[in-house]
Amino acid sequence: MAAYLIRRLWQMVPTLLGVMLLVFFLFKYFGGDPAVVLGGLNASKEQVAAIRQQLGLDQPMYVQLWIFFKQVLTFDWGKSWATNEAVSHLFATRLPATLTVMTPILILDIFLALPVAMWVAYRRGSLSDRAIMVASTVALSISFLVYVIVGQYVFGFQLGWFPVQGWSDSTWKNLVTYVPLPVLLAVAVGLAPQTRLYRSFLLDELGHDYVRTARAKGMGEGVVLFRHVLRNAMIPILTNVGLQLPGIFVGSFLIEVFFSIPGVGREILLAVNRSDFPVIEAFTIYLAVITMLVNLATDLAYKIADPRVVLK
């Protein structure tokens, strides 16, 4: 296990290097001139030249690339062009809000979708199974934006159960006041595809020979589902959870914008609208690192879920 972990961490180095090079050259040749963006439409040539010198854009390419590498290695991305706030401080202050919203969404998605999927898999082919699959298909056909607008109107304006926007410095107040409505709507959207996906994983396992053998030995359907089928279906389930995990740290643009949540997702959207390159570059590297670490954690979780898995 230790040797595998060290090898995987070492393999991340060239991957991260490739991401850094890709980000640098994309922003260098396709992102526009940062000096022009900062100077604005009315900036003179002298002002643009001064900004280029201040940002180090008049330096040779290899010098600029080295400066970029140092920013990544030291986590010092400078300051946001739009707000003059340190990029590292910006992420540190926005991430808690994102985690406060996204963590309950992921937990509820998993722990609600999985039991429902097991129940409909157990009753496969029945009226209940078909009704839930039809409802899931209809739910998948509706845009999340519709859920947000209708949810805010019904639960916020008509019933007055939740505020539709707002945030505070108290985590507890956020959890009991501002988080429930966006979490409710996000789970309502995410439950349908997750249920269908987990159901397909379970039905695939139910068709194997070991299930028929277990039933022939007199095991009840519940024992078969929990002790055998669920355990063998954990590999694809963990893979799906691993794909969702980076979203916890990225946030949801729609949720954070429509509910005025000061998280990472809304900040990135603002950065794109403002052409705030330092924030966008930092976010791209930040997301790449998180994705690689989550993939590593998922591979290690395979071994825990099924000791037969061999890590190579």
Domains in the chain, CATH or no CATH each: 2-74 (no CATH), 87-305 (1.10.3720.10)
CA 115 to chain centre: 23
Query: What is the spatial distance between Cα 21 and Cα 46, in angstroms, rounded to a whole number?
Result: 30
Phi first, then psi: what are they for 79, rounded to 5°? -120, 150
Query: What is the spatial distance between Cα 274 and Cα 289, in angstroms, rounded to a whole number?
Result: 24
Tell the residue number behind the tokens 């349908």, with chain if given. 192
**One pLDDT digit (tens) per residue for the chain, 312 residues:** 677 777 777 888 888 888 888 888 877 777 666 776 666 667 677 777 777 777 677 777 778 788 888 878 887 777 777 777 888 888 888 888 888 888 888 888 888 888 888 888 777 777 877 888 888 888 878 788 888 888 888 888 888 888 888 788 888 888 888 888 888 888 888 888 888 888 888 877 777 777 777 777 777 766 777 777 777 778 888 888 888 887 777 767 788 888 888 888 888 888 877 777 788 888 888 888 888 888 888 878 877 776 676 666
